Amino acid sequence: MRRVVAELSRLRHLLHELTITNITPIPVKCDNQAAIYIARNPVFHERTKHIELDCHFVRHKLMEGLIRLIHSPTHHQLADIMTKPLTGIRHHFLMSKLGVHTPSNLPGVLGIAESLLVVVIQPS
């Protein structure tokens, strides 16, 4: 999450130089509720000491108003289409969220059999 927030911070700075303002807070979706809790919680526990520096950076940007952390359920992760084996239904669901449809679902497109024109030339 730290890398995403650092990149968003750089992009906001670049957009500010281009006189584009009022783009914050930027929604950052994360499927890890523990990471969201740690970023929002000012108290660190014994098990989180090794990630303390990253958490301070993310928390600082959260308090600054650059980002807004949003929980996104695992089954809505679009990256799953590239990284996990999926069932047909799940694959079609994620493809539709990406805006990719099968040719039969596109408006104005005829079915495959109707759209093919077969020309047979018989020898004379």
Taking the chain, what is the end-to-end CA distance rounded to the nearest angstrom? 72
d(CA 70, CA 49): 24
Per-residue pLDDT of the chain (124 residues; tens, 9 = 90+): 889 999 999 999 998 899 888 887 989 888 888 888 888 877 766 666 666 677 788 888 898 888 999 888 877 777 788 888 888 888 888 888 888 877 665 555 554 444 444 445 556 5
The helix/strand/coil state of 71 is: strand
Question: What predicted TM-score, i.e. pTM, was given to this entire model?
Answer: 0.60
Supply the pLDDT for residue 113: 47
Supply the pLDDT for residue 10: 93
User: 39 and 59 in contact (C-beta within 8 Å)?
Assistant: yes
Supply the pLDDT for residue 103: 63
Supply the pLDDT for residue 124: 55
